[in-house]
Chain A
Amino acid sequence: MGKSEPYNLTRGAKIRIGLLILALIFPFFPFVSDYLLHIVILIFMYMILALGLNIVPGFNGLLDLGYVGFYGIGAYTSGLLTYHFGLSYWVIIPLAFMNGAIWGILLGAPTLRLTGDYFAIVTFGFSELVVLFLTNEIWLTRGPLGLPGIDVVSIDLTLFGGPKWEFVGELPYYYLAIVMVLVTVFVMYRIQDSRLGRAWFAIRDDEVAAVSCGINLLAYKVIAFAISAAFGAVGGSFFARWVTFLSPDMFKFWESFLILCMIVLGGMGNIWGVMIGAVILVSLSEILRELLPLLGLPADVRFLAFGLIMVLMMRFRPAGMLPIAAVAAQMRAGRTKRKKTKPAVGIKK
């Protein structure tokens, strides 16, 4: 294989390039409507969010139920900075990234000493706090009235005597979203294959052994949480400038759950799996939204379908569609422990 090829590309690389080309020409297919394009942009945005969240449960093995809090912080950071100061989107992205990271550190530093479920409960509480803040601090966020009329993204070259090009319609956002996904995936791959990534994987596999290799658990968990939060905020900043309207009820708990579902469905810790999870759940959500009213059911019944998918996944494929060894092993260990046939890995005490 590959001998007649001018370049020696592996099968994986060919698939990647093929998919990228398909994504780039996708808007020009005759059957693609504005609505469909909107859905695909939504998929890309959720890919960024899911890849960001994946750092915490996927790379570090910690359950995070409050990811939407950082998404909301990023969205309002972007919205308010545009609303009050008219900042350019290109300035806002790094600001949103940093603001997400700051809140990640503020929440993570005192709470990441907690283990397992206790930490998950804290994150859940945090995301509820964010929604309450956005709803009640009317002086800042206009509360339930929402934040309408946020400027669209634009490329402004008037300073250099160039033109100002505003992003109108879905098409420019489509390409902007592709670039953002590519950058996120690039960063994730680089981290995965670095000293930082190895430290996280060590924590995921065995905390005591990690500590005895000189890894400061709390510090590395806080770093993970901050980077994860930063990507959530970047996703939110895109969302704000894309839909140009924000309201607190866009950041309810079920969004966290949906993003977590994407990760679990696709395969925790697997970059490709997480992206596939985003594709499946966003498209399924839209299909059900159309389909359910035809059957005489309210559209919100689709959340029941997500719940059912999760139950079935846990029963038949607990480590996800594209599982990685570490998560699969943890799931197996959990199962044998429940059945009490043999003890899980020989941990003392």
Chain B
Amino acid sequence: MTPILEIKKLYKSFGGLEALKDISINIDRDEIIGLIGPNGAGKTTLFNCVAGIEKPTGGQIIFSGEGSTISIGGKKPEAVTALGIARTFQNIRLFDNLTVIDNVKIGRHCRTKSLFFGAVVRNKFQQAEEKAITESAHQFLKFVGLKGRGQEIARSMAYGDQRRLEIARALATEPRLLMLDEPAAGMNPQESRDLMDLIRRIRDSGITVLLIEHDMKVVMGVCERVVVINHGEWLAEGLPQDVQNNPKVIEAYLGTGAANAA
């Protein structure tokens, strides 16, 4: 079966700084794959390249969504979202001043159509669409465990809830591939466990999950495969336990000598 996302020899440089060098990763359908690496390794840059926010300097990104296979390197971010790749951000980016339900409704944007005419006239099509948007938005809130909190203002929510809301908004775009950028950052152990459960439920609903995470408990607990990058280069790949014991990985995180000590 073709992988859902193929990253082939991806390069990205900012001026003289090479943030990504010759990265090749295959992501299989319906797996939960972890992307780890020390700070500044290029994990978020890789996300941005896939999401279309950064333009890669070289290489290919090939996405096989619903039947078709499309190269997305350099595509616009809104087009990438429409193809079926959704993401969350390392530092949460919600629509802070809007209500929780509106945040999720905006996620439905790329799957709906009404514009000025529909808004003013409220024809049958627009009414039906608006009803469907509201219903599905409530379903997504329920899915992430924020049922009944639609009228709160996003900014006033607790940190962990904001993370969940961001995931709900991403799910509302109906992705085939969901990219989570450090979803467990700042969460307490209970919240992390709930998050791991949520990630598994997302996968079970048929969505492939790519995860950047520093919290090793989460990575070990939920990921089926882990890719390690360091200084923008591919370092190791494999089962979480194997990667954890890989001397090269330990060296990347803790420095030379640490591997021998372990």
Q: Which residues of A contact B (CB under 8 A)?
A: 187, 190-191, 194-199, 201-202, 205-206, 208-217, 223, 227, 324-326, 329, 345-348
4 A-B pairs with least C-beta separation: A214-B110, A194-B119, A326-B97, A214-B81
User: Smallest Cβ distance from A102 to chain B, in angstroms?
Assistant: 15
- Residue pair A345, B96 in contact (C-beta under 8 Å): yes
| Interface of chain A, main secondary structure | helix
For window 26-69 of chain B, which residues contact chain A by CB distance below 8 Å?
51, 53
> A199-B106, A202-B106 are contacts. A329–B119 as well, Cβ < 8 Å?
no
21 residue pairs of the A-B complex, CB under 8 angstroms, read A191-B120, A195-B129, A196-B119, A197-B119, A199-B106, A201-B95, A201-B102, A202-B98, A206-B95, A208-B53, A211-B53, A211-B76, A211-B77, A212-B89, A212-B93, A212-B170, A213-B109, A214-B82, A214-B109, A216-B76, A326-B97
Contact A212–B96 (Cβ < 8 Å) = no
Interface centre among A191, A195, A198, A216 (most CB of B within 10 A): A195
Asked whether A198 and B102 contact (CB < 8 A) given A206-B96, A213-B109, A216-B78, the answer is: yes
Q: CB distance B98 to A195 under 8 Å? A: no
**In the bound complex, CA of A64 to CA of B122 (Å):** 29
Return the CB mask of B92-110 against A: 1 if under 8 Å, else 0. Answer: 0111111000100111011
Whether A329 lies near B91 (C-beta < 8 A) is no
In the complex with contacts A212-B51, A212-B86, A213-B81, A206-B120 CB distance below 8 A:
no
Question: Of A187, A213, A329, which is within 8 A of B173 by CB?
Answer: A213
- State whether the Cβ of B136 lies closer than 8 Å to any Cβ in chain A: no
The residue on B at minimum CB distance from A269 is: B97
Q: Cβ of A194 and Cβ of B78 under 8 Å apart?
A: no
Q: How far is the CB of B238 from chain A (nearest CB, A)?
A: 30
Contact of A196 among B98, B114, B122, B169 (CB under 8 A): B114
Total interface residues in chain B, CB < 8 Å:
43
Determine whether B112 belongs to the interface, using a CB cutoff of 8 Å to chain A. yes
Find out whether the CB atom of A190 lies under 8 angstroms from the CB atom of B115.
Answer: no
- Return the CB mask of B113-146 against A: 1 if under 8 Å, else 0: 0111011101000100110010000000000000
Residue of A191, A199, A347 touching B109 (CB-CB under 8 A): A199
Q: Which residues of B contact A (CB under 8 A)?
A: 51, 53, 76-78, 81-82, 86-87, 89-91, 93-98, 102, 105-107, 109-112, 114-116, 118-120, 122, 126, 129-130, 133, 153, 155, 169-170, 172-173
Complex contact A194–B102 (CB within 8 A): no
Cross-chain contact B78 with A329 (CB below 8 angstroms): no
Cα distance A102–B120 when bound, in Å?
Answer: 19
Residue of A194, A205, A216 touching B98 (CB-CB under 8 A): A205
Q: Is the CB of B102 within 8 A of A329?
A: no
Query: Given the complex, which residues of A lie within 8 Å of B82, measured CB to CB?
Result: 214
Kindly provide the distance from the CB of A65 to the nearest chain B CB, expressed in whole angstroms. 24
Decide: A209 and B94 in contact? CB cutoff 8 A.
Answer: yes
Measured between beta carbons, the chain B residues less than 8 angstroms from A191 are 116, 119-120
B46 CB, nearest partner CB in chain A, Å = 15
Contact present for A190 and B96 (CB under 8 Å): no
Complexed CA–CA distance, A212 and B88 (Å): 9
Say whether, besides A190-B120, A195-B114, A348-B91, A213 and B102 are in contact (CB < 8 Å).
Answer: no
Taking CB atoms, residues of chain B closer than 8 Å to A201 are: 95, 98, 102, 106
Give Cα A195 to B96, complex, Å: 18
| A348 in complex: contacting residue of B90, B118, B170, CB < 8 Å | B90
- Per the bound structure, the CA–CA distance linking A34 and B106 in Å amounts to 49
B78 lies within 8 A of A209 (CB): no
Q: Are B119 and A205 in contact (CB under 8 A)?
A: no
A329 and B155 in contact, given A190-B119, A190-B122 (Cβ under 8 angstroms): yes
Assembled-state Cα–Cα distance A325/B112 (Å): 27
Most interface-central of B51, B78, B91, B107 (chain A CB within 10 A): B78
Name the contact of A213 in the complex, choosing from B91, B106, B120, B130 (C-beta under 8 A): B106
- A209 near B98 (CB under 8 angstroms)? no
A302–B114 alpha-carbon span in the complex (Å): 45
Minimum Cβ distance to chain A for residue B157 (Å) = 14
Known A191-B119, A196-B116: A209·B95 in contact at CB below 8 Å: yes
Q: Could you tell me if B173 and A214 are in contact, using CB atoms closer than 8 angstroms?
A: yes
- CB–CB B115/A223 < 8 A: yes
In the assembly, what is the distance between CA of A223 and CA of B89, in Å?
28
Note all chain A residues with C-beta closer than 8 A to B110: 213-215
Query: How close is A323's CB to chain B, nearest CB, in angstroms?
Result: 11
